[in-house]
Structure formats: C-alpha cells, structure tokens
Chains A and B, each alone.
Chain A
Amino acid sequence: MAETTTAPRVRRRPAVARHAGRIALGVPVTAILLFLAAPLVVLAVSSLNPTASLEFPPQGVSLRWYASVLSSPDWSVSFRLSGLLVLMVVATTTVLGTLAAYGLTRGTFPGRRLVEGVALAPLMVPEIIIALGLLYYFQGLGLLNSVPGLWLAHSLVALPFAVRTIMISAARLDPALERAAATLGAGPVRVFLTVTLPLLRPGILAGAVFAAVTSLGEVAVSVLISGANTTTVPVRVFSAVKFELDPSVAAVSTLLMLASVVVMVVVDRLTRLTEAV
C-alpha cells in the first residue's frame, strides 16, 4: 500500500497480514457491488431476449423489443413528454436553485435557517405525502393530467437536490474575488454574471444533472397526477410492470438507464462529478 512508502518510519506490516486485510475488505465489497449492479444488468440482458418471455439467461440475442418500442406510437409520445419535462425542470430548478443556494450561503437575513430547512424539506417528507398533497391541490386547480402540473411536481422533487449541490459550490466561493470585481467598477449584476456564476459552474452543472435524472425517473408523484394524455416514460413502465411482464418494458428500462448514464458521462467530462461527491 502507498502509505508504507510515503511513511517509511512506520513498521511495515507483514505481507501476509496486508493481503488478508485486502481480501477481508475486497470480497464483501465485490459482493455488495454485484448486489447493486445485478438487477440492472439482468434487466439489460433480458431486453435482448428473442422470445416473449423474460427468461434469464436469454435463449439468443435480438433487438426486436427495441424495434417494437421505438416504432410504438404510445412509447414515442411518452419519450417526447419525458424529454420536454427534463428540459423544463432543469431550466426551472437551476435558476431557482442557483439563486436560492447563493442567497442562503451568503445571505444574513433573519429566517435564513428556516428557508434552508423548507428548501431541503421535500427530501425528508415521505414521497406519498407530496403525491397526495399535489393530487388534492391540482384537482382543485385543474392541473391533473397536464404538462404544467407534472412540470411543477418534478421541479418540487428536484429542487432540494439542486439547492444542496449548488450550496456546496457556493460555500467554497471566495468573496474576495467578487469584492475585487466590484472595486474595479463592476456593478452588482455584472459581478454576479461574470464572476459569481462562472465560479458556481461545477455545482450548477451537478445540480442540473441531479434535476434531469430526478425528472427522468420520477414515478411516486407522477403516478397519481398524470393521466391518459400525460404518461411519462417511467409512469408507462410502472403500469406495464403492474399488468404484464414483457421484454419491451425491459428494453425501455435499458434505454432509460442509458439516457441517465449519457447525462452523467457528459457532465463528468465537464466537471469531474465523481470526485465532487
């Protein structure tokens, strides 16, 4: 291990003991990682099944379920709706989240802790209550089975993730840089746009990823407030799983996973997300 070479004064533990330590940690960790990956891998492999069953391992390899999903008008309506919602939700939560995270980190106003608590509260409140609350509320407002209703609901669920992630970046921000810009004659708006925002970029991007992924996967609230005209991809997967087991759902699930992975990889390229967590 590296530490023995960087700290030569420490007596080297015998090689046998170090190997035993590595195995004692490595074996359970590998097993737990397999547990984490297993359902997703099984799903992706099952989606390649040439027959109409979800046997594992599959009898052969075929892309027929992908073809059937991509040519299905129902699924394509859902894909478009989910895509639209991701764009709307990311735009809303990054704007609201960036402003709020900056205000909460820098602000000194009374009630700051209360606002912070409320902003992060949707994470602590059992999802079924948010679902019931929005169902009952939207019923009165005529927002059930509507895109604006889903947009508000997804933004609510995604906002705490965005606020929390951006607050981490905001806390690391050096106020001296903003003061320097102001001393050099930049107005407050210009300071915010040209100094503050670029410095918050890693947090904002990470927050946007979390918001996108949350919206793309949201079911708990969507199931109750969506309807026949507003079935998002995960809601359609949910109803399909409840009523039938068909490899086309596995194909959609795999596409949904791929979409999330693509989002993560693209952003990781930009910000080294894995090192920020």
Chain B
Amino acid sequence: MAAVRGRLSGVGFVLPAVVFLVLVFLVPLVRVLSLSLHPVDGAGNPLPEFSLVQYQRVFSETFFSQALVRSFQTSFLVTALCLALGYPVAYALSRVRTGVLRTLMFVIVLSPLLTSVVVRSYGWVVLLSANGAVNRLLVGTGITDQPLPLLTSYTAVVISVTHVLLPFAIIPLTTALGGIDPHLRRASQSLGAGAVRTFTRVTLPLSLPGVAAACMVVFPLAMGIYITPLLVGGANQPLAGLRVYSQITSVYDYPVAAALSLTLLVLTLVCVAAMGAGFRFWERRHDG
C-alpha cells in the first residue's frame, strides 16, 4: 500500500486540473477532429458517414491552402522580428540591474502584455487610420501629399502582430541573458577579446536557450492569431486563423473550419518540434 502511494504520490493534486482539462480542452478538440471527418449536406449540417473531403478542400482550394502558406510565412517573419527587436531590450534589461530606469523599462515591456489584445489592436487602428498620428506626421512633414491607406495593408498586420507578441519574446530572453554569470564576460575581456567578440563568442551562445524559448512561444501564437489581423487588416487578409473565423461566422461551414484549424494545429506543432530539435542539435554540437 505504501509502495502504491509512493508511486502515485501527487496524483491527487493534479486530478482536479486533469478532469477540468479533459472536459473543457481535450473533449472539444476530439469533437473538432470528428467534425472535420464528416461531409456536409446542402445546408451545412454534418452527415454521419466518414470522409476526408474537408481536408481535400483545405489542400485543393487556394482560398484555404494559400492562407496556410501565408500564415506560416507571416509567423516566421513575426518571430524573426520579435527576436531582432526583443534581444536588444532584453540585453539592456539584463545589464540594468536596479533603479528607476529598470522599473520604467519593465513597465513598458509588461504593460502591453497586461493589456487586452483588442485594446492594443485598436491602438494601431487609431495610429494608422487616415487621420491618425502616422498619416498626420507623413502629410505634415511633406513626405506624402495625402494620407496613405496604411490600415488594411499586410505591412500593418505584420507590425501590429509583432507589437502584440514582442513581450512574449522579451521575457524569456531577459531570463536567459540575466542568468549568464557576468564573470564570464569579464573573463573573456580580460583575456583580450573586444566587446563585439565577447558578445558573439560568449553572450550570444549562452543566451540561445532564451532564443529557443522565445521562438517556441511566439511562433505558435502568431500561427493562430486572428483578432489583431482582423481589426487592423480587415477580414480579407489571407491568414488561416481569419479564414477559420470567417468560415464560422459568415459561411457557417463548421466542418471545413475544423479541418483547416486542425491542419493549422498540426503545421504549428511540426514547426515547434522542428525548432526544438534544431536548437537541441545546435546545443549538443557546441557542448560536445
């Protein structure tokens, strides 16, 4: 009895969460899977027989397949931008250890994270609208004669999604950079390496776990994001999340929405697994 209790210690603690996750997370996912495996009748109601017709549609209709490709490209781009913009901020945060400056930086980094996605997207709508701040600046300085159609552009979508996800990159990067022993930097410099060489040979390699964590958080979030592209870019942006949303809310075709969103999920998981494997391979090669 004691052995059983020892082997199963902790089960009682996780049980409530497991029951909750099975009922509210896994069961709905399985229902989405079964929904995606049925054809529909003329009115869009799922029929009882099994079929892969929904997946055929996802892969053969460019309306869906191109959205998947575009979502992948966009997520890749946004992840790269988040790393490029997040790294300097995280580096600065890890070097400024105390004081008002650090608190101010933290508030600026964390406040978007604590603000609803809808509010942040709305902020971009206001900034980029025809009489918004950016257009006023452009017209006022004479760079353009009339306001540019910044809203509804793909560029606006990339900028706003990057803005929404940037704090998710900064936090793991700060943790990784802050965990590096400052003596290593000093050792490198006292052995004659310059600031640039110390950064590329000591700091950057040691911060790679943070880079990996940032990629693996930002990329999946970017794959599924739909509120920000919808508000900033409009419902016609060719992104998978938005296509699912429009199938649900205006076409009421749930089965194809299910097939598309599951394809998106599998694509996301494959990419994250590949990233994880890539980083582990890199680490092993450099440790060994």
Contact = CB atoms under 8 A, between A and B. Distances in A.
A binds B: yes
Interface of A: 3, 7, 9-11, 13, 17, 21, 25-26, 28-29, 32-33, 35-40, 42-43, 46, 53-57, 95-97, 99-100, 102-104, 106-110, 112, 115, 118-119, 121-130, 132-137, 152-153, 155-156, 159, 163, 213, 216-220, 223-224, 234, 237-238, 241-242, 245, 249-250, 253, 256-257, 260-261, 263-264, 274, 277
B109 to A, nearest CB: 7
A152 B113 CA distance: 22
B60 interface: no
Contacts of B163: 35-36, 39
Given A25-B92, A29-B92, A109-B11, A132 B244 contact: yes
Given A129-B264, A159-B20, A220-B227, A7 B186 contact: yes
Given A126-B241, A126-B268, A37 B226 contact: no
Interface string B10-50: 11111011101100111111011001000000000000000
Given A35-B163, A126-B220, A220 B117 contact: yes
Interface residues of B, number: 97
A51 B269 CA distance: 48
A122 B220 contact: no
B189 interface: yes
Interface stretch (B1-9, B141-149, B277-285): B1-9
B195 A119 contact: no
B89 interface: yes
B118 A238 contact: yes
Nearest to B121: A241
B224 A129 contact: yes
B127 A155 contact: no
Contact of A249 (B115, B122, B175, B195): B122
B265 A126 contact: yes
Contact of B108 (A36, A106, A220): A36
Given A54-B129, A237-B118, A256-B116, A136 B35 contact: yes
A40 B106 contact: no
The 9 A-B residue pairs with the shortest CB-CB distance, nearest first, are A107-B10, A126-B224, A39-B123, A103-B13, A217-B116, A133-B28, A100-B17, A103-B14, A260-B114
A29 B14 CA distance: 42
Nearest to A57: B133
Interface stretch (B51-59, B202-210, B255-263): B255-263
Nearest to A216: B116
A136 B254 contact: yes
B119 A237 contact: yes
A274 B105 CA distance: 10
A48 to B, nearest CB: 13
A132 B37 CA distance: 15
Given A133-B32, A217-B117, A39 B106 contact: no
A56 B106 contact: no
Given A107-B10, A133-B32, A137-B28, 8 more contacts: A32-B89, A39-B123, A128-B261, A128-B264, A245-B126, A263-B114, A277-B110, A277-B174
Contact of A126 (B24, B88, B261): B261
A102 B120 contact: no
Contacts of B123: 38-40, 42-43, 253
Interface in B67-90: 85, 88-89
Contacts of A17: 195
A28 B120 contact: no
22 contacts: A3-B186, A28-B88, A29-B88, A32-B89, A33-B109, A39-B124, A43-B122, A55-B131, A99-B16, A103-B11, A118-B21, A123-B220, A134-B28, A137-B27, A156-B24, A224-B248, A238-B227, A241-B121, A241-B231, A253-B116, A260-B115, A277-B175
Contacts of B174: 277
Nearest to B231: A241
Nearest to A258: B115
Contacts of A119: 14, 17, 21
A135 B14 CA distance: 26
A119 B13 CA distance: 13
A237 B12 contact: no
A96 B20 contact: yes
B119 A132 contact: no
Given A53-B131, A96-B17, A124-B268, A35 B224 contact: no
A217 B92 contact: no
Contact of B109 (A9, A36, A128, A129): A36
A77 to B, nearest CB: 18
Nearest to A110: B7
A40 B17 CA distance: 35
A39 B126 contact: yes
